[in-house]
Amino acid sequence: MEDKKANIVALSSLVFLISVIIIARVLLHLSKSFFLIVGAAVAAIFAIIAFYFIRRHLRHRRRVMETRLASEGKELRIEYSFLRKIAGIPTKFRYKELEEVTDNWKSLIGKGASASVFKGIMKDGTAIAVKRIQHEEERGEKEFRSEIAAIASVQHVNLVRLFGYCIHNTSRFLVYEFIPNGSLANWIFSRPATARNHNGSSSGGCLSWGLRATVALDVAKALAYLHHDCRSRVLHLDVKPENILLDENHRAIVSDFGLSKLMTRDESRVLTTLRGTKGYLAPEWLLELGVSEKSDVFSYGMVLLELIGGRRNVTVIDGGGGGCDRSKKKFQYFPKIVTEKLKAGRIMEVVDPRLLDLGGIDEKEVKKMVHVALWCIQEKVRRRPTMMEVVKWLEGRVAVEEPPETQMIVVDLLSIDDEDDEGEGQNGNKRKKPRVVARVASQLNGCFASNNPLSSKSFSYSMSIISPR
């Protein structure tokens, strides 16, 4: 546009100067004044012509330079993008782009307490899962940063791949690879035949014994990598079937690092806010004694038992008559049942009945997996194995010894509730709580190397802040 205007001005100037010469010739004839005007006009004409050609030359050089820079910039962007993908560095997506690939957020495939997950298809045909974090601003930002810090730089076949992220106003989005078969929970727990996911699909079924053993090993390898092979140890802190996904070959992919923590090599434990899912939290976390990689081991052991039995570890068998008296609530604790069946020599009775109907399950394999699980859920932290040892046990490289008996103190922790409901039973439950926690803490004595006495804060255990399943 500027070049066009300059050309018009130059042409107009030439026409004007030529017109001046013609008018001067008519009016002044061949006088001295006429020749002065002609000289000035001709000089101006030559100046305009010179300016035009110089400008044209400079414009051509500029275009050549812009083309070269654009080409080099494109090459640099392609190289930078390639190197980011190779290094596993997440890409920053635009909100509009995510809005388009998810069909304006219509393709919901999952929803939890802290986030919603949408399926999207990129322009190159890549299927993605977009996680929209929906906590309040401070907690959502903390979860967003934790997840990126934990998963952005790790590369493992059994860990979900983070493609990128998006920040839009106060909203936070994480873009992951799409895992087609959904969560492990859909494949090990019984559910109605009509049950469907949020997007209308019915992904799920009954996972065979062989595939369950493979999933157990895959998850163990993923956690072993996080605990032992990363520069900073990564604590997942939310290991449960809902956070274990199955790919097209039913191989396990560990996901959801919203509660994760990084731990340096010289740290033995870290203190963190009590969050997570009832039934998978280690006793030391419930008592606010700090967490370590052994807290993940405990959660893994609970998941392993659920893999074997095809049922939840903690179920309510008596809701207290349906009233507001929650102190009479009774829990059934599956690990305790497993221990009793193991003692009685009837370990096959804890296996998922659907698998028993299919047959072909080796009792020795069941006993081995039960032993591994019971080692993992030992109350005393020092008794629990590392995930590297668990991998060796599951692969059969090292024989699994019979685990020692445990007090199943989680049953005591589940028997107390800190809801602010009215009623005598609830008040009695509140009076009982400090005594139960003190007794449990005394049973855990020596679970850490450091002998830090329990402060009054250690008794602030509250089931009300534990996220629901």
Q: Are residues 319 and 433 in the same domain?
A: yes
Q: Is residue 377 in some structural domain?
A: yes
**pLDDT at position 394, please?**
96
Say if residue 332 is in the same domain as residue 275. Answer: yes
Q: pTM, whole model, 2 decimals?
A: 0.72
Residue showing tokens 């996911």: 197
Q: Label each residue of the chain as H, E or C.
A: CHHHHHHHHHHHHHHHHHHHHHHHHHHHCCCHHHHHHHHHHHHHHHHHHHHHHHHHHHHHHHHHHHHHHHHHHHHHHHHHHHHHHHHCCCEECCHHHHHHHCCCCCCEEEECCCEEEEEEECCCCCEEEEEEECCCHHHHHHHHHHHHHHHCCCCCCCECCEEEEEEECCEEEEEEECCCCCECHHHHCCCCCCCCCCCCCCCCCCCCHHHHHHHHHHHHHHHHHHHHHCCCEEECCCCCHHHEEECCCCCEEECCCCCCEEECCCCCCECCCCCCECCCCCHHHHCCCCECHHHHHHHHHHHHHHHHHCCCCEEEEECCCCCCCHHHCEEEEHHHHHHHHHHHCCHHHHCCHHHHHHCCCCHHHHHHHHHHHHHHCCCCHHHCCCHHHHHHHHHCCCCCCCCCCCCCCHHHHHCCCCCCCCCHHHHHHHHHHHHHHHHHHHHCCCCCCCCCCCCHHHHCCCHHHCECC
- In the chain, the number of structural domains is 3
CATH code at position 161: 3.30.200.20
Q: Does 354 reside within a domain? A: yes
Is position 66 within any domain? yes
Predicted local confidence at residue 173, as pLDDT: 92
Q: What pLDDT score was predicted for residue 178?
A: 95
- Answer yes or no: 238 catalytic: yes
Per-residue model confidence (pLDDT) at position 319: 59
If asked whether residues 236 and 347 sit together in one domain, one would say: yes
pLDDT at residue number 348? 95
Q: Residue 162 falls within a domain, yes or no?
A: yes
Q: Is 429 exposed, middle or buried (0-12, 13-18, 19+ CB in 10 A)?
A: buried
Q: Do 429 and 298 lie in a common domain? A: yes
Domain, as residue range, for 45: 2-87
Question: Domain check: are 146 and 209 in the same one?
Answer: no
φ, ψ at 437 (rounded to 5°)? -65, -40
Q: Are residues 70 and 104 in the same domain?
A: no
Same domain for 316 and 453, yes or no, is yes
Is 277 contained in some domain?
yes
Domain membership flag for residue 200:
no
The pLDDT value recorded for residue 364 is 94
Regions in the chain scoring below 50 on pLDDT: 193-194, 199-200, 417-430, 447, 449-469
Judgement on whether residues 209 and 63 belong to the same structural domain of the protein:
no
237 and 382 fall within a common domain: yes
Instruction: Point out the domain boundary residue: 59, 87, 115.
Output: 87
* Same domain membership, residue 430 and residue 290: yes
The pLDDT score that the predictor gives to residue 152 is 76
Residue with tokens 């078969």: 181
Domain containing 345 — which CATH number? 1.10.510.10
451 shares a domain with 348? yes
Same domain, 288 and 359: yes
Residue 383 belongs to some domain of the structure: yes
Note the pLDDT of residue 391.
97
Q: One of 238, 256, 296, 352 is an active-site residue; which one?
A: 238
pLDDT reported for residue 459: 36
Q: How confident is the model at residue 192, as a pLDDT?
A: 59
Q: Is residue 198 part of a domain?
A: no
Identify the pLDDT of residue 200: 47
